[in-house]
Structure 1
């Protein structure tokens, strides 16, 4: 069986050792970084998933996520003692895929790791095409979206929503459906996050194209990629 490569970034040595020993029992290969700066030197898409602490002395997890998110497509699970809702929301907005609060269950952590790796593989498999709709071009292989030739700086969630909707132009997506596809049923986020992320997508597109809507609201039903484009 092929090993799954995981990176754990946490300045608490006991937590790193505990996660590493547990996951290696299930045929994972785990690399540990004790600081954000150390992680920055070794992070790559070779890791199938990254577990990231927030409170670290030299470079905290939030700042590290912002630095790497445009380059690293691997799922990121935040693992933090911070329990405030605004901390969770910020972590997801800047590109995190999930948020687990300390203390945590190792079984739950492994279940979430498996879930995100499976979802990530489904998104990547057999997609090496370029699609265009109006002034929007999406390159599936590189996970990039362009508007009038300008690269949109998207979070992973923003990209996935555009990909899902553009590739299914005739389909009206309920917020619940978008949430399940992009965040997953086991996410600690909520449906309002879908609305906010779509607002962010529209703002980023509007910087280069202020005449087309693309993601159209179908009142009472959800959202659809505007078929007139």
Structure 2
């Protein structure tokens, strides 16, 4: 998959290293070292992916991520020397799709980028409007969920979680992001209720709820939905 990628990184050596690896994989890369310039470029010429350093002059990466996410669903991968749980959650809550801490392996970064680019295509529902993740299907028009062809009875909150996560399989959603989404279904929802919804969903969609293969916990961050054992 060849993509147009904007790399916002003010460390010249780091930017050059990442650029070379991206171009080896036949991506087109534009490097920008200033935060405000990066946001302007993304708005004028939207790329397929934004690789965004948190510490940028002019405007930091968190502010850029917030602005981008308010305007589009552009995939965003954040780079940072910060590695605390609060920093990770801050980036994810602002809408970042993935977060890589420095120092990192360029090969690992390329693998993360390939995953994000693959994920961007499945985010669109099929022609019949049904979203599929392995043998799990979510039909927002009929408000139906099936697993292995078997209908699953979901509450509105459970359906809302599956609809959101199935649209972007393998993306990690923080509890804060899930909470914000579910306010449309239940304005009194709490973070504890998110965990209860996940627990109840596992009983319905997992062969072994105590050893989930589809709806996974990413410890210290949140949850993600995968094809699990259905993946090729």
TM-score normalised over the length of structure 1:
0.64
Q: Quick one: structure 1 residues 101 and 114, their matched pair in 2 at CA, closer, same or farther if it must change by over 3 Å?
A: same
Structure 1 residue 222 corresponds to structure 2 residue 201: yes
Q: Superposition pairs for residues 12-27 of structure 1, below 5 Å?
A: 12-27=11-26
Equivalent position of 2:81 in the other structure: 81
**How far, CA to CA, are the matches of 1:50 and 1:34 in structure 2?**
13
Q: Superposition pairs for residues 2-151 of structure 1, below 5 Å?
A: 3-44=2-43, 46-124=46-124, 126=126
SS of the equivalent of 2:30 reads strand
Structure 2 contact 123–168 (Cα < 8 Å) conserved? no
Structure 2 contact 138–163 (Cα < 8 Å) conserved? no
Q: Superposition pairs for residues 163-202 of structure 1, below 5 Å?
A: 166=140, 169-170=144-145, 171=152, 172=154, 182=168, 184=170, 193=174, 195-202=175-182
SS of the equivalent of 1:8 reads strand
SS of the equivalent of 1:95 reads coil
**How far, CA to CA, are the matches of 1:108 and 1:220 in structure 2?**
31
SS of the equivalent of 2:52 reads strand
Structure 2 contact 7–31 (Cα < 8 Å) conserved? yes
Count matched residues: 180
Deviations 1:149-185 (A, max 9, x none): xxxxxxxxxxxxxx9573663345698998687462x
**How far, CA to CA, are the matches of 1:128 and 1:177 in structure 2?**
15
Structure 2 contact 6–31 (Cα < 8 Å) conserved? yes
SS of the equivalent of 2:122 reads helix
> Any unmatched runs of 5+ in structure 2?
132-136, 146-151, 205-232
SS of the equivalent of 1:64 reads helix
**How far, CA to CA, are the matches of 1:176 and 1:59 in structure 2?**
35
> Any unmatched runs of 5+ in structure 1?
132-139, 141-162, 225-229
- Higher mean alpha-carbon deviation, 70-79 vs 80-89, is at 70-79
Q: CA RMSD in A?
A: 3.9
Deviation at 1:21, TM superposition (A): 1.2
Deviation at 1:113, TM superposition (A): 0.6
Q: Quick one: structure 1 residues 4 and 81, their matched pair in 2 at CA, closer, same or farther if it must change by over 3 Å?
A: same
Q: Quick one: structure 1 residues 121 and 98, their matched pair in 2 at CA, closer, same or farther if it must change by over 3 Å?
A: same
**How far, CA to CA, are the matches of 1:118 and 1:38 in structure 2?**
27
Structure 1 contact 51–77 (Cα < 8 Å) conserved? yes
Structure 1 contact 97–183 (Cα < 8 Å) conserved? no
